[in-house]
Amino acid sequence: MSSKERNGNGYTPDVESDKPRHHRHGLSKPGQWMIVLNLALQSIGVVYGDIGTSPLYVFASTFSNGVQHNDDILGVLSLILYTLTLIPLIKYVFVVLRANDKGHGGTFALYSLICRHAKVGLIPQEGDEDVSSSDRASKLKSKLENSKFVKFGLLLATMFGTSMVIGDGVLTPCISVLSAVGGLKEATSIMNEDRIVWASVAILIVLFMVQRLGTNKVGYLFAPIIGAWFLLIAGIGVYNLIKYDPTVLKAVNPKYIIDYFKRNKDQAWMSLGGVVLAITGAEALFADVGHFSVRSIQLSMCVVTYPALVLAYIGQASFLRKNNNLVSDTFYKSLPGPMFWPMFVLAVLASIIASQAMISGTFSVIQQSLSHGCFPRVKLVHTSTKHEGQIYIPEVNYLLMVACVFVTLGFRTTEKIGNAYGIAIVFVMTLTSVFLVLIMIIIWRTHIVLVLAYVMIIGTVELFYLSSVLYKFNQGGYLPLAISTVLVTIMCVWNNVHRKKYFFELDHMILPEQVQEIIKETNTQRVPGLAIFYSDLVNGIAPIFRPYLENVRALHSVVVFVSLKSLPISKVPKEERFFFGRVQPENLLAFICIVHYGFMDADDEQEPFETLLIQRLKEFLRKDHHLSSTLMRNGTNLVLGTSESIEVEAQVGNDDNIVEEVDIPSHNEDETDDEEENIQAGNLDDNDEQEGVQIDNADQIVEEEASTDEDKVETHMDILDKAVECGVIHLVGEHKVVAKIGSNLGKRL
């Protein structure tokens, strides 16, 4: 590789690279575990508020018509326990979290992971190596890649799942806050339905106003509250178990589920819409993994959340076995007298935190949608210097707030919101399972027996729940579907335009070697100054460059084509931020530059961008010259070699080697040995003296060429300095996508 292909920092300009090669994210094991424990603590305050507040309304929603048989309580408890174990614990914590895409979770993370291992994306992307070695995986992968219908179907399903998560982010705050504030009816008669609704609206507004603090601060603020909530509901559960009916523990026997369905038939099937509320927020475990880490969520779920929820539901079932008539207010009625007000305050606070889980998850999935060109551009605010996934999106935050206020004022009761809530939850869970099966087969190469076991157990359970919640479509279930329809329409239109723009730029991309030809064709004159062209392309030059020259007919004396790329780290050292490459020929003084930024760099920038760019460009020119001179010296010294062709490695930069092959005249090995002996002894005959003159002349030629090259570098540096003095101009090309004349109404809209 020639020196012209290397940048001044000792790197090879790799236009496909998303991060500098020198970055290492490894930590010592003690350091890693401290981070995991820290994130686990934060996750308690962010991830589990939704699933943690489900005991407020699960039994009331399941027995909406009252308890018909005392053993029905055992059947429902058994359903809750097995659902909690199968879906949040086994499926999400131990399986789905492994399917994260570079630390990110959510529907788009699953889609992105599949796209990187199989060519099913509508926009080509750099994929991983083909890890599919089995015939089954290869055949499935081939079918997916060769079907355009499947490609569009996967993207549409991903958009639909993402829209459902956003819909979940609207419904979770409403049902959580309403159910908690509704406890005031037990304490005072002045709290009627209207006052409860308006109190809930006020709390929701406050909740969304504190989002700007960021997940990090919110997590530390809420973690002690949710920790106390889990501790108390677990303790009260144990208290009720001992006081009322310890025999409810026999609900671990799934026989009670069968008996429950035999007794109640259709009513039992319809009641599944209430049971599924016990796992609300399970999708937040996956969607919020980008805010934390897999290990931290696994740790907090297994040690804190799951045991507390199991004890809480067992305690409530034990209470109901002796108080069938109090099922509509199970949570507050089952509290010991002195614990009402402390638990009410905690319930309100926990319901606010429950909303936080899905709000954070909504921010995460929208961030992923943006990266795939499936969502209108919005402002991403990174709220943590350490964790890339902790973000805040102002526009989305306030739209969610308005939507939550309208839903709360419109539905007014947790029962109606619960009907809508269930559909959003189960749809996303079912879609996640479909994607997960593809990942198991194509990427993980899971044994077919385990895949079938997953489908038969987890898949069957989710399909039963899906069929139940769809039954309540006209009782509020239409809301998440209506929200999803609007969002999917917006996402489809945006993605369609994004793809058209991408392929237009790709088809009309200008290669670096074409620049000089275009300048000649357009009869462009060079004028003093430095021009910086900005583009998203890293493999070439944006097509806007040609029409610019055709219209302006002038190009500055120094030109830099800049592509800005954001990396998933907080800060990139300035010395590793700029990657340069030359556009040939050298006298064109045109360069390609890829600039890497961390997500917190822009907030702490001391020097103007153009100052840093010019400084690094000068360093590149010097090092590029030094590299050329090194090659020249090493290449010339090969005249003294003895082989017919020699490969010499010149160490440059850090780890990069430059290999050049030089042909030299062949000599007889014996003659060479004699020559070496004569040189060592200082004995040179006339021929030897003549050869010595030739060697001296060669060294002189090298010095002259090096001097000439040094002058060239100084000339280029002078031109650059004068260009900066004349002025720096920043040029940003932007494409507009418009419908062709004669397009149908749909395209014009």
Provide DSSP, 603-649.
GG--S-HHHHHHHHHHHHHHHHHHHHHHHHHHHHHGGG--SSEEEEE
**Integer Cα distance of 730 and 435 in angstroms:** 44
Looking at residue 36, what is its pLDDT?
83
Tell me the residue length of the chain. Answer: 749
| The pLDDT of residue 684 is above 70 | no
* Higher-confidence position of 73 and 717: 73
Mean pLDDT (the chain, rounded)? 77
Residue 519 in tokens: 């300048």
Report the range out of 3-12, 325-334, 580-589 with the highest average pLDDT. Answer: 325-334
**Residues 71 and 256 sit within 8 Å (Cβ to Cβ):** yes
Looking at residue 29, what is its pLDDT?
59
Report the range out of 71-75, 189-193, 360-364 with the highest average pLDDT. Answer: 71-75
Looking at residue 257, what is its pLDDT?
94
Question: Tokens 């590029």 — which residue?
Answer: 624
* Higher-confidence position of 217 and 374: 374
How confident is the model over 619-660, as pLDDT tens digits? 888 876 655 555 445 544 333 333 333 233 333 333 333 333
How confident is the model over 106-145, as pLDDT tens digits? 788 888 888 888 888 776 654 444 444 566 778 888 888 8
* Higher-confidence position of 467 and 693: 467
**Integer Cα distance of 361 and 424 in angstroms:** 14
* Higher-confidence position of 208 and 258: 258
Question: Tokens 């369609």 — which residue?
Answer: 496
pLDDT grade, residue 80 (50/70/90)?
Answer: very high
Residue 382 in tokens: 């990174």
pLDDT grade, residue 569 (50/70/90)?
Answer: low
How confident is the model over 423-478, as pLDDT tens digits? 888 888 999 999 999 999 988 988 999 999 999 999 999 998 988 888 777 777 78
pTM of the model: 0.70
Type of residue found at 662: V
The mean pLDDT of 319-331, rounded to a whole number, is 90
Report the range out of 194-198, 460-464, 706-710, 745-749 with the highest average pLDDT. Answer: 460-464
- Comparing C-alpha atoms, which of 256, 224, 281, 229 is closest to residue 89? 281
**Residues 285 and 357 sit within 8 Å (Cβ to Cβ):** no
**Integer Cα distance of 176 and 414 in angstroms:** 8
Report the range out of 51-65, 293-307, 308-322, 571-585 with the highest average pLDDT. Answer: 308-322
Looking at residue 456, what is its pLDDT?
93
| The pLDDT of residue 662 is above 70 | no
Looking at residue 16, what is its pLDDT?
35
Rounded (5°) CA angle 518-519-521: 60
pLDDT grade, residue 548 (50/70/90)?
Answer: confident
- Comparing C-alpha atoms, which of 625, 562, 623, 614 is closest to residue 593? 562
Phi and psi torsions of 339, nearest 5°: -90, 0
**Residues 488 and 163 sit within 8 Å (Cβ to Cβ):** yes
Looking at residue 570, what is its pLDDT?
59
The mean pLDDT of 200-214, rounded to a whole number, is 80
- Comparing C-alpha atoms, which of 233, 485, 256, 265 is closest to residue 336? 233
What residues contact residue 3 under an 8 Å CB cut-off, 6+ apart?
624, 627, 628, 631, 658
Looking at residue 357, what is its pLDDT?
65
